[in-house]
Every structure is written in structure tokens, then in C-alpha cells.
Amino acid sequence: MITSAIIPRPLAKLPWRLIFLVTGIAMFGFVVLYSAAGGSMEPWALKQAMVFFIFLAIAVAMSWMRESTIKAIAFPLYGVTLIMLLGVEALGFVSKGAQRWLDIGPIKLQPSEFMKPAIVLTLARFYELVPVGEIRKWRAIWPALLLLGVPAVLILVQPDLGTCIVVLLCGVTVMFLAGLPWWFFAAPAASFAVVAPIAYGFMHGYQKKRIDTFLNPDSDPLGAGYHIAQSKIAIGSGGIWGKGFLHGSQSHLDYLPEGHTDFVFATMAEEWGLVGGVILILAFAAVIRWGMQVSTNARTRFAQLAAAGLSATVFFYVAINLMMVMGLAPVVGVPLPLVSYGGSAVMTVMLCLGLLMALERQQRTVSRVI
């Protein structure tokens, strides 16, 4: 918030610190995409910039939404997204192949992306409705499990393991903050150790291979381990200061696969080094911290849970992507928000941030009213 006599009040009331941070990250992303294209605005940087600014505008516009409106749309948004997920599934069944999006005229809608903010809002709304004393009861748990489980399974069978994991983690975070008993989180963690090998058996070949190569990337350096190996080479060879803008050989000579999407961080780190990487990580940390602060300052339970869940969405995006790129997690196909090329990730993150801005504005307005 900027207080100045010159700037009109509605503008001055915008959360400028967040907008600057997000725009800064996105701009850095354009620079990286420009380099990844071999020093050209085409085909990625320009398009990404357009998408970003459109969604930034939408996010800013969303910040005028009232908390009551958000509450009201929580369940319907969830319902519509779920139907779209089913639609994708049906379409995939018809076309006999993996299907992740719906073609609606000129745009491709990826419903699993909408599910990330939708699950957060729905669970926040659900736990707001649960009476305080009931929180440790079974009836506070099973509806949430159902709300989370159904879309998670639908996304998993698409198959989109990355999005499924992000959705699950977002939902679990909200449930954790809602105050569900410890055993609820401890028990699955313990059972994971048991179930993981069995689940592994049900995975698709390429998913299995990704986990294999994560556990031992050198086992197949030219096959499935290639992504991780080349990504580590790009980051490691960048050193502290990087090879310089437009001088990343790994990305420019195509040794780094997906250098403009999932592995954009490696492209960046090769040219900007550890310094660029740390700055980017700190910028994301600041964005997430801003979101967590909105949650801490929130006065309603819905706002608390929703704000924390939405920040967690951004956090999981960033954390999973970076862990994957640096060889700390299997390659699951999660993009780096705002930097990776692709509209849907930008859309999801900007929707989350728009909702966060709305909740933040609400805090100020409500505090003034009270």
C-alpha cells in the first residue's frame, strides 16, 4: 500500500509490494525465455509476457472481490472443475490417449489447474462450516477426504502425477492448519512407507522410470535419467556468477531438455549462476511470506485457511519444481510458476495471488469498518 497525495486512492490501495515482486519474477522469466529461444522474443518470451500481463490484470481486478463472494463461489467452482475433470476423462477415453485439457474454441482449458485454488477454497469453506468442537471428530475428516480424494484420483489417472501431488499437498496443508488431529497426518506418513512400493506397482511405465531414475539417476544417463543429469550439469556448470546472458551452452545446444518449461530454472542458473538462483528463490520466498502474512492477519477462519492454502499452492509449485530440477525429487512435471513457459501455470498462480489480494484488501477494509 502506497500513501501519496498524487496517486489515486484505488491505485494506492493495491498491494504494490506483491505486484512488484511478482512482476519482477515474471520479467526475469521473460529474459530467461528470451535466451532459451536463442536470443529471440519468439516463440516464448513475448507470448509469455502477454499472458502474464493479462492474468496480472485479472488478478488485480479480482482483488476487489469480497470475501463473501469468494465464499459463495467456493463450492460451485469446485463442482464445475470436478465436472470438467470428468469431461477430460471421458474425452480421453474416447480418443484413447492421455488427455489433460479441454479444447474450448481458441483456448485450451486444463481443469486440473483450476483444481488447485478450488480445493483450497472448498476445504477452507468446509472447515469454516465445521463447528469448533467437531474438528477432531470423524465427520470433520471424511467429507474433506472425499472432496480431496476424488479430484486427486481423477488427475492421477489423466495421468498427471505432478498436479495430483500439488493438489494433494494443498488440501492436506489446509486440513493440517484446520486443526485435524496429529494422528491423521502421522498415520498416512507411516503407511506411505508401506504403500509406496505397492503404489509403484500400479504406476505407468514412464512414471515408474522417473522414480527409478530419481533414486539412481546415473543408471540410465542417456535415457530417463537424461533430464536430471543434464539439468544438474547446467546448474553445476553455471558456478557462482553463471556463464553470462545468452552464453548457456547446455540450453542453447539443446542438451537440456524442456529448458523453457519444467527445467527453465536450470536454463536460468546456467547463465545467471548461483546468484541468480538465490535471488529468484528469495523473491519467491517473499511472495509466499506475503501470502502467509495475509493468513496470519486474517480475521475469519475461512480467510485464514484460504490464504494459507493459496500461499502453500505457490510454495509447493516452486519447491517441487526446484527439487526436481536439482535432483532432489523425481521428475514429476511441475513447472516453475511465472518463469516456465506455459499459460496454465501462470493462470493458476495469478488466480491464487488474485484471491490472496482480495483477502488482504478485505482485512484492511474490514479492520476499518470494525
Near other proteins by CB under 8 A: residue from 5, 94, 104, 132: 132
**E-assigned strand segments in the chain:** 102-104, 107-109
> What is residue 135's three-state secondary structure?
coil
The DSSP code for 106 is: T
Would you count residue 362 as binding other proteins (CB under 8 A)? Answer: no
349 CB contacts (<8 Å, ≥6 apart)? 313, 314, 317, 337, 338
The residue from 273, 333, 342, 343 that contacts other proteins (CB under 8 A) is 273
**For other proteins, what does the binding mask look like between residues 179 and 208, x meaning CB under 8 A?**
x-----------------------------
Distances (CA, A) of 74 to 71, 125, 266, 308: 5, 7, 36, 15
Binding region for other proteins (CB under 8 A) out of 54-62, 76-84, 227-235, 338-346? 227-235
From candidates 274, 297, 300, 366, binder to other proteins by CB under 8 A? 274
Which of 234, 351, 353, 358 binds other proteins (CB under 8 A)? It is 234
Dist. CA 252–CA 107, nearest whole Å: 30
From the list 11-19, 75-83, 285-293, 361-369, the region that binds other proteins by CB under 8 A is 285-293
- Let me know: does 171 contact 120? Beta carbons within 8 Å: yes
119 near other proteins (CB under 8 A): no
Neighbouring-strand partners of residue 109: 102
Output 292 or 366, the one with its CB closest to other proteins: 292
Among 81, 112, 173, 267, binds other proteins (CB under 8 A): 173
Smallest CA-to-CA distance from 99 within 41, 174, 154, 40 is with 154
Neighbouring residues of 296: CB distance < 8 A, sequence distance ≥ 6: 304
The verdict on 296 binding other proteins (CB under 8 A) reads yes
Among 315, 358, 360, 363, binds other proteins (CB under 8 A): 315
Query: Contact between 176 and other proteins (CB under 8 A)?
Result: yes
What residue spans of 216-342 are helical by DSSP H? Answer: 226-238, 249-252, 264-297, 301-325
CB 242, min distance to other proteins, A: 9
Residue in the block written with cell 486440513:
175
Pull the grid cell for residue 16.
504494490
For position 300 contacting other proteins by CB under 8 A, the verdict is no
Nearby residues of 134 by Cβ (< 8 Å), 6 or more positions away: 140
For 205, counting Cβ atoms within 10 Å of its Cβ (0-12 exposed, 13-18 middle, 19+ buried), the class is: exposed
Given 119, 319, 356, 358, the residue binding other proteins (CB under 8 A): 319
Please tell me whether residue 139 binds other proteins under the rule CB under 8 A.
no
Q: Is 323 in the site for other proteins (CB under 8 A)?
A: yes
In the complex, the residues that contact other proteins under the rule CB under 8 A are 132-133, 135, 173, 176-177, 179, 230, 232-240, 249-250, 253-255, 269, 273-274, 277-278, 281, 285, 288-289, 292, 295-296, 304, 308, 312, 315, 319, 322-323, 326, 328
